[in-house]
Amino acid sequence: MSFYQGTSNSASFFTLQRCGGLAALGMALCYFTVALIFFVFLSQPEQAEPLQKIQYIEQHQFLVAAGYAIGYLLFGFLLAVMVIAIPQQLPQPRSALVQVSGLFGKVWVVLMMASGMIALTGLERVINLVNTDPDLAVTLFSVMGLMTHALGGGIELVGGLWILLFSLAGLQQQPQKAKLHGLGLLTGSFAILTVFHTLPYLKEAFGLSQLVWQLWFGVVLLRQKQQEITAE
């Protein structure tokens, strides 16, 4: 059975596979970078009033905007590459389960990109208003936070369904990679369970397990050879 569709030679496949591997590693690097920006370089007190938060953000506007751009827009772009690339490392990339998982992956790309654009445009508008109409700036800041949180990570259901369904397909088609796809199942389950906000540490569990899954998958895609796929 062919291991890819719509390509004229193996070089095209290997370019896509390599891009997918680099994208997976890049997504993990995005996590590290955003964590450094918001938890190391920025030290805004959690108990600060909304207006104080806005004033603090105004003083560090470039760094905050960079965090949003990396965490949402760059991550979303790399996610799009990975969503396209990872099915091609399966023996049956067009199976129903893989295609359904891909739909959720594409929706997640849209949500991440939309969150990033809302965050960046909202940030600029809030900072422009803070000196002329602080009450409106606080209101807009709250709305912006709610929208980006709801679309971009407050509930990780969509991303979790992508990972979980793809991992189920991987377990069916690649039992020899059961550990990798088993981690994917665990990661996707953590993400889906974030629907229940009362359960503690689910987002942290999803973030850490997803980070490991991305790094592992990136290495697999960069090291895997054609014959390893066609033989499966």
Predicted TM-score (pTM) of the model is 0.89
The pLDDT value given to residue 224: 78
Which parts of the chain have pLDDT scores under 50? 1-11, 227, 230-232
Q: Are 115 and 152 in contact (CB under 8 A)?
A: yes
The pLDDT value given to residue 13: 53
The pLDDT value given to residue 230: 45
Q: For residue 136, what are its two tokens?
A: 């409106």
The pLDDT value given to residue 12: 53
Q: Are 225 and 35 in contact (CB under 8 A)?
A: no
